[in-house]
Amino acid sequence: MIEFLLNNERVSLEECDTGISVQQYLRQQQQLTGTKEGCAAGDCGACTIVLGEIAADDASITYRSVNSCITLLANLHGKQVITIEHLAQGKVLHPVQQALVDHHGSQCGFCTPGVVMSMFSLYHTDIAPSREVVNKSLSGNLCRCTGYRPIIEATTEVCENRQPDQFTAMQQQTLDALKNIRAEHKDVFANNVHLPETREAMATLLAEYPDARLVGGSTDLALETTQQLKALPELISTQRMLDCRQIDVTEDTISIGAALPLSDIEAVLVAHFPALHELIERFASLPIRNQATLGGNVANASPIGDMPPVLLALNASIETDNGRQTRLLPASAFFTGYRQTQLAKGEWIKAIHFPRLGPDTQLRAYKVSKRHEDDISAVCAVFTVTTVNGVITAISSGFGGVAATPVSCDDLATQFTGLSWQDEQVRQRGKHILMSAFNPIDDVRASAAYRNQVLGNLWQRFWFETQTALLATTRVPHYA
C-alpha cells in the first residue's frame, strides 16, 4: 500500500500501476481536471502540481512544484498533493490566483493552472523573491499567449505581500498526518512498485526481482511510458533509501547521496564549486530539478546529460552498493558505452564523491543549448586547470554532446603540463586539439561541425576567463 494526502484527505492505494502518471490519476480517477496535459514530457508545465513534504528540520513542510505528467504514483507516498482545485476557498480565490487576475496574467488559460501552482510553491518558499528567483520558479511553465511580464509581476507582488493562507493554518495537522504515514510504513509497495528504506531491503528486492528497474525521480524513466508508450517492469524506488540521501562534507571531499533531487544539492555544490551555479540553474526547469536525482542523471549515462561532464572534470568517484559491499569507481572508468555503465546487476548508486579544489585550481562549466531555460545541451564542457606559479600542473575536462558517452580529453593535460597558462599557444593549440578530438553526431540540436567549433571556442573562453583568476593565486617564491 502507498499512502499520501490529497489536499487534507488521506488516500491509501493498494494498487499502483507503473504505467499511470500522477496527472492521469488526478484527472481520470479523482476527476481533478484542472491539472492539464500539454506535452506529457515535463516540458510545458501545464500539469504542474505542488507536493508538500516533511522538511529536513522535521518541524515544517516544504512545498515543491513538480510535473505530474512524469511523476509516478508511487512517488507520492508520504507526501501532500496540492492541485489547482485546492487553492480557492469557496468563491474566494487564493492570493496567487487573485494576483494573476489583477495583473491580467491569463488569456486562453491553458497554462494557467500550472503557472498558479508554480506561483503557489514560491509563495510558500520565499518572501520578496528577487527577479532571478521568480524567473527560476516559473522556468518550467510555457505560456504561448499572455506573455511572461504580467505573470512575473503578479508573482513578485503576491510574494512580497504574503499573508498566511489555509495551508499555513493547517500546517501542524498536515505535518502530524504526514508523520503518521511515515511512522506506520516500513516496507512500502503497491503491486509492482517497491520503496525500500534500507540497503538490506533493497538488496533482497533486487535479488527477488532481477528484471526490476531502479527509479529515482522518474524524470527520465517516465518518458519511456509517456513518449515511447513502453510498459514499465517492476520498479524499485531509491526515494526512501536513507543512506542514499546523505550529504557529507569533509576536509577533502563533498559526498552527495544519489537519491537526492538536484534542488536539495544545489546549495552545497554551488557553495564549494561556485562555477557550477549557471550549469545547475540551467539543468531543465525547477519542477524537474525538484525530482531529478544526481544518481539518476549518472546512471542514465546519457551522452547529453549535464552532470557526467562535471564528474569527469572534477575526478569524482561513484560509490555503488549491492547490500553486501560498496565499490568506489572513478567517473573516468564508469561510462563504458552508449548509455552503458560499470554498474553490475543487483547494484545501485549510493553516492557521488567530489574531491574539493584547492586555491590553485580554476573550474568553469559551460552549457550551450538552443534555449536558455529548460533545454538539453547541444554541448556541455567543464574544465579545470591547476597551476603553480603560473605553470600548469594539471588539466581535467568533461564533455557532453560530442560522443556516444560523456568523455574527457586527456591530450590537454599531456600536451600542456609544464607550460605557462598564459602561453598563447596553450589557447591556440588547445582549440585545435578539441576541435578534432571527437566525432560528434549531426542531429536536431546541432551539426557535428557546430559542436566541434563550440568545443574549441569554449576552450578559448575558459583560457581567457581564468587568466586573471590564476594570476591572483600565483604564489611568490620564498627564498631563504
Binding site residues, ligand FES, CB under 6 A:
37-40, 42-47, 67, 69, 106-112, 143-146
CB 204, min distance to ligand FAD, A: 16
Tell me the per-residue interface mask from 362 to 391 with ligand FAD, x by CB under 6 A, - otherwise.
--------------x---------------
**Residue 61 beta carbon to ligand FES: minimum distance, rounded to whole angstroms:** 23
Which of ligand FAD, ligand FES, none binds 38 (CB below 5-8 Å, type-dependent)? ligand FES
Residue 110 touches which member of ligand FAD, ligand FES, none, C-beta under 5-8 Å by kind: ligand FES
Please give the full DSSP string across 252-303, using - where no structure is assigned.
SEEEEETTSBHHHHHHHHHHH-GGGHHHHHTSS-HHHHTT-BHHHHHHHT-T
Which CB sits closer to ligand FAD, 46 or 258? 258
Could you give phi then psi for residue 315, rounded to 5 degrees? 55, 45
* Cβ atoms < 10 Å from Cβ of 144: 11
219 binds, among ligand FAD, ligand FES, none (CB under 5 to 8 A by kind): ligand FAD
349 binds ligand FAD (CB under 6 A): yes
Q: How far apart are CA 409 and CA 412, in angstroms?
A: 6
The size of the chain, in residues, is 480
Q: For ligand FAD, what does the binding mask look like between residues 84 and 123, x meaning CB under 6 A? A: ----------------------------------------
Say which entry of ligand FAD, ligand FES, none residue 145 contacts (CB below 5 to 8 A, set by partner kind): ligand FES
Give the footprint of ligand FAD on residues 59-78 (CB under 6 A): 70
C-alpha–C-alpha distance, residues 167 and 331, integer Å: 44
SS (H, E, C) 16-69: CCCCCEHHHHHHHHCCCCCCCCCCCCCCCCCCEEEEEEECCCCCCEEEEEEEHH
- Interacting partner of 317 out of ligand FES, ligand FAD, none (Cβ under 5 to 8 A depending on kind): none
Strand partners, 51: 64, 81
How far from 14 is each of 29, 188, 205, 377, CA to CA, in Å?
14, 10, 18, 40
Task: Give residue for cell 569527469.
Answer: 312
Alpha-carbon dihedral of residues 76, 80, 82, 87, nearest 10 degrees?
170
Given the complex with ligand FES, which of 38 and 390 has the nearer CB atom? 38
Contact track, ligand FAD, 34-53, x by CB under 6 A: -------xxx----------
* Minimum CB–partner distance for residue 87 and ligand FES (Å): 17
Cα–Cα distance, 420 to 416 (Å, whole number): 8
218 in contact with ligand FAD (CB under 6 A): yes
112 vs 238 by CB, closer to ligand FAD? 238
The correct pick among 24, 80, 146, 297 for binding ligand FAD (CB under 6 A) is 297
Answer whether 49's CB lies under 8 Å from 22's CB: yes
Q: Please select the residue that binds ligand FAD; options are 112, 300, 386, 452, rule is CB under 6 A.
A: 300
For residue 215, the surrounding DSSP H or E stretch is strand 213-215
Q: Whose grid coordinates read 586527456?
A: 410
Lookup: cell for 201? 531491503
Q: How far from chain centre, in Å, is Cα 207?
A: 29
Q: Does 405 bind ligand FAD (CB under 6 A)?
A: no
Compute the least distance from the CB of residue 264 to ligand FES, in Å: 21
Taking CB within 5 to 8 Å according to partner kind, which of ligand FES, ligand FAD, none is near residue 299?
A: ligand FAD
Q: Which is nearer to ligand FAD, 360 or 375 (CB)?
A: 375
Residue 144's binding partner out of ligand FAD, ligand FES, none, with CB under 5 to 8 Å set by partner kind: ligand FES
Residue linked to cell 524567473:
135
Among 50, 96, 299, 458, binds ligand FAD (CB under 6 A): 299
- For residue 308, the SS3 value is helix
Q: List residues bridging with 420 in a β-sheet.
A: 391
| Integer Cα distance of 446 and 480 in angstroms | 57
- Chosen residue from 73, 292, 352, 368 binding ligand FAD by CB under 6 A: 292
Count other C-beta atoms under 10 Å from residue 267's C-beta: 11
Q: How many residues bind ligand FAD (CB under 6 A)?
A: 34
The residues of the shown chain that bind ligand FAD, judged by CB under 6 A, are 41-43, 70, 213-221, 238, 244, 258-259, 283-284, 288, 291-293, 295-297, 299-300, 305-306, 343, 348-349, 376
